[in-house]
Amino acid sequence: MQPRRVAMISLHTSPLDQPGTGDAGGMNVYVIELARRLAQRGTEVDVFTRATSSRLAPVVDCGDGVKVRHVTAGPFEGLTKSELPAQLCTFAREVLRAEAVEAVGHYDVVHSHYWLSGQVGALARDRWRVPLVHSMHTMAKVKNAALAEGDVPEPPARVLGEQQVVAAADMLVANTDQEAKQLINLYDADPGRVEVVHPGVDLTVFRPRDRAVARAGLGLPQDAHVVLFAGRIQALKGPEVLLRAIAHLLAGAPDLRSRLVVPVVGGPSGSGLDKPEALASLTDELGLGDVVRFVPPVAQAELARWYAAASVVAVPSYNESFGLVAAEAQASGTPVVAAAVGGLTTVVDHGRSGLLVEGHAVDAWAAALRRVLTEDGLHARLAAGAVAWARGFGWERTAAQTLEVYRRAHDALRDPLGRRAGLDGMLR
């Protein structure tokens, strides 16, 4: 059975927000792109998200079967992610109210994203008698096991909330095999209810382009070594690792300095919001003011030009459930140097589409970057391999596999012995 209509819940961040700052990132891209591809296959999608401005329309019709519904729950501005659990009851009530005005059976599936949404999704599932499919995106236990220096651990309340959602979901979608194992080993998820579905890349937007044209349009020198960082500026993403590696690289190869450009495309997020100038201060401290360029978050089409203009994209994260930046960069024909953590070990084909670095030691990162920039023939081989590897991550495949997960969730719901327990009292 293919569902006619899916209620997606993305409570803490809207798929309409600009990725790269605040709480907006790869999950935002995931939700809107998956919704669009499902709609193209005949399944309409309503995305419920918390309204963050009184100026937002209650419903935004994105066209072609996708609508974003802004739910009023708490003050429009000023709430941090840690304060959102207090608004779960209000948010859930408004979601149920929105469905109540429709005909019985309006939604066939609830698909929640991130643990906060999963708590609301479990309540909606029990009220509407439809299956709950949940995507974690990130997990507290995983993040806390690999904290970056200066980062703040996730609280016990989130760990408990995640365990409750894992227990309640009819099906869990994991981005990679490693995430599936983490769900099973760390959260005691039923292996039969965990399915691996890789996120996708819009291969029409992120594709190989003429590098000279891209650089000319962005004001970059044609002969430059461009080492790009793209994403939210927070400790988890490791931008300071890249800057220290660049300083180490230049100390050993000062002749590269005149040609080196390091664009940092993104804005503060998470713990980075507490010290929004910290990365700029580190840049000055390391004497890299003539090398590093800070660029505000940009739209997908513009980001594709930055990828195409880069010599290499650095992804020094301490953890990634998938690693969308690495996938997008490779689809654009640009090699990646990434940390060998989380989903990046799936997204990057080491030695063929990019290089994986074990750990975050500055000398190891500097050596890997230097190889891609200067080793004879390596960049060309990796660039060709990057395009070929990225072809396996199209959104169309993601949508097809997600629809199969929905079918399995319906089967689990119809089987009284296989039905997960509800979250009775969770939101009280």
Answer yes or no: is 298 a known binding residue: yes
Answer yes or no: is 259 a known binding residue: no
Answer yes or no: is 141 a known binding residue: no
8 A C-beta contact, residue 170 and residue 164: no
- Mention every residue, 6+ apart, whose C-beta is less than 8 A from residue 375: none
Answer yes or no: is 12 a known binding residue: yes
Answer yes or no: is 23 a known binding residue: yes
- Residue 44 CB neighbour total at 10 angstroms: 17
Answer yes or no: is 237 a known binding residue: yes
Answer yes or no: is 408 a known binding residue: no
Query: Beta strand pairing status for 109-113 and 66-71?
Result: unpaired
Answer yes or no: is 402 a known binding residue: no
What backbone torsions phi and psi does residue 322 show, to the nearest 5 degrees?
-135, -70
Answer yes or no: is 187 a known binding residue: no
Answer yes or no: is 144 a known binding residue: no
CA–CA gap between residue 121 and residue 13 (Å, rounded): 15
Answer yes or no: is 83 a known binding residue: no
Answer yes or no: is 81 a known binding residue: yes
CA–CA gap between residue 121 and residue 165 (Å, rounded): 9
Answer yes or no: is 127 a known binding residue: no
Answer yes or no: is 375 a known binding residue: no
Amino acid 177 reads D
Amino acid 283 reads T
Q: Which of 239, 288, 244 is nearest to 264 (CA)?
A: 239
Answer yes or no: is 285 a known binding residue: no
Amino acid 272 reads G
CA–CA gap between residue 312 and residue 96 (Å, rounded): 47
DSSP for residue 338: E
8 A C-beta contact, residue 313 and residue 336: yes
Q: Which helix (H) or strand (E) covers residue 109, if one does?
A: strand 109-113
Answer yes or no: is 283 a known binding residue: no
CA–CA gap between residue 273 and residue 316 (Å, rounded): 19
CA–CA gap between residue 302 and residue 313 (Å, rounded): 15
- C-alpha to C-alpha distances, 390 to 88, 260, 325, 385, 420, nearest whole angstrom: 38, 27, 11, 9, 36
Calculate the dihedral angle through the C-alpha atoms of 387, 391, 393, 398, rounding to the nearest 10 degrees.
160
**Alpha-carbon Rg of the chain, whole angstroms?**
22
Q: Which helix (H) or strand (E) covers residue 386, if one does?
A: helix 378-390
The two structure tokens encoding residue 269: 């997020």
- Mention every residue, 6+ apart, whose C-beta is less than 8 A from residue 9: 47, 48, 49, 95, 110, 111, 112, 113, 117, 118, 120, 121, 124
Answer yes or no: is 320 a known binding residue: yes
> Which residue is associated with the tokens 């709609």?
39
Annotated binding site for 1D-myo-inositol 3-phosphate: 12, 23-28, 81, 114, 138, 158
Binding residues: 12, 18-19, 23-28, 81, 114, 138, 158, 232, 237, 298, 307, 310, 320, 328, 334
Annotated binding residues for UDP-N-acetyl-alpha-D-glucosamine, as ranges? Answer: 18-19, 26, 232, 237, 298, 320, 328
Residue numbers in the known binding site for Mg(2+) are 307, 310, 334
